[in-house]
Structure 1
Amino acid sequence: MALHLIKLCVGCDSITDLEEWIEENRALHRRLGRDFEQTHTTRMVPKRVEELLNGGSLFWVIKGQVAARQTLLDVRPFTDGDGIGRCRLVLEPTVVPVEPRPYRPFQGWRYLAIKDAPRDIGAYGGDLAAMPEDMRRQLAELGLL
């Protein structure tokens, strides 16, 4: 059974910010002649890697709400130059908006069970995916989504 991670997207104010950061990073790699692979480095290494790589995603909390997810492709522990153990989460660079849901601040990452994960916006059908992100956020805050 798959398992997800959830993490704060520090420095991003919107899904668009996250997508632009990914594209800037991709362009930098292209200019430097490097292969692009989107990774996110974190301090703690998940112990349940097999479950995470069985269809799991990294859900991003942006401005106090779960807002988007990216599919987890790999989990790579490593030791940095200071001898500190860290972990690279390798992510599919496609950002998938999810139903906005309030989430309190926390440090690091947390496991997120499938039953607790918000659905992709596209799962609703209709025009919800075409709605501006700010409007979805406000409707969610009012309990209307």
Structure 2
Amino acid sequence: MPLAFALRQEAATLYGLPVGESVDKHINLVKLCVGAERVEDLLLWQQTPRAHGPDGLPRHVTRMWPKRGEELLNGGSLYWVFKGLILARQRLLRLDEVLGGDGITRCALVLDPEVHRTESVPRRPFQGWRYLKPEDSPADLAEARQHEDTLPPELSAALAEIGVR
């Protein structure tokens, strides 16, 4: 059996896909940006060496390994929730295996360094991460709006609640 096929078969098994099935769609993740109140807080955190992997790319280490990894890496993004609102996203580049200080294997979500601001969409609190369908994902803000000052979270939430983004 060729090595490439064996690796594909192993990946298909790992991600719960039937062998030979191609992935022609993508899925996103949504996660609370714990400890951050604004997108600027995330940007500051990702400038620190602790937020980067050995390759210098930003990453977020999570305990659980996504079963739908192939779909995530087919154009998916990680959408960040700040104080109850999705406000930004980063494209997922790859999933790396990381060994924690406690000896437990974890998943590093390796991210594109570019953070895209999105329309404000309310999101209730949850633990860990959740899958987010593309049709349920907020649109990116127009390039001209990427550098605008962010509205206070309470105002963004109120506007999103009445459908004004």
**TM bracket (short chain):** 0.7 to 0.9
Cα drift, residue 35 of structure 1: 4.4
Q: Does 1:39 align with 2:81?
A: no
With normalisation by structure 2, the TM-score equals 0.74
Going from structure 1 to structure 2, the CA distance change for 1:17 and 1:54 (only over 3 Å counts) comes to same
Q: Does 1:73 align with 2:93?
A: yes
RMSD in angstroms over aligned alpha carbons?
2.3
Cα drift, residue 78 of structure 1: 3.6
Q: Deviations over 1:17-54 (max 9, x none)?
A: 1111112338x97xxxx641211000110011110000
Q: State the structure with bigger RCO (CA 8 A, min sep 6), 1 or 2.
A: 1
Q: Which residue of 1 aligns with 2:42?
A: 18
Going from structure 1 to structure 2, the CA distance change for 1:81 and 1:21 (only over 3 Å counts) comes to closer
**Greater than 6 Å deviation, 4+ residue runs:** none
Going from structure 1 to structure 2, the CA distance change for 1:140 and 1:84 (only over 3 Å counts) comes to same
Structure 2 counterpart SS, 1:41: strand
Q: Which residue of 1 aligns with 2:11?
A: none
One-letter amino acid matched to 1:115: E
Report which of the two has the higher share of strand.
1
Q: Does 1:103 align with 2:123?
A: yes
Once the two structures are overlaid, the 10-residue window that deviates more, 4-13 or 76-85, is 76-85
Q: Distance in 2 between matches of 1:137 and 1:98?
A: 16
One-letter amino acid matched to 2:109: L
Cα drift, residue 137 of structure 1: 6.3
Q: Does 1:53 align with 2:77?
A: no
Structure 1 counterpart SS, 2:89: strand
Cα drift, residue 130 of structure 1: 4.6
- For structure 2, the 5+ residue unaligned runs are 1-24
Q: Distance in 2 between matches of 1:102 and 1:21?
A: 23
Q: Which residue of 1 aligns with 2:28?
A: 4
Structure 2 counterpart SS, 1:20: helix
With normalisation by structure 1, the TM-score equals 0.83
Q: Deviations over 1:98-145 (max 9, x none)?
A: 0001101100000000000000011xx7x5445421158624523222
One-letter amino acid matched to 2:66: P
Q: Distance in 2 between matches of 1:13 and 1:56?
A: 24
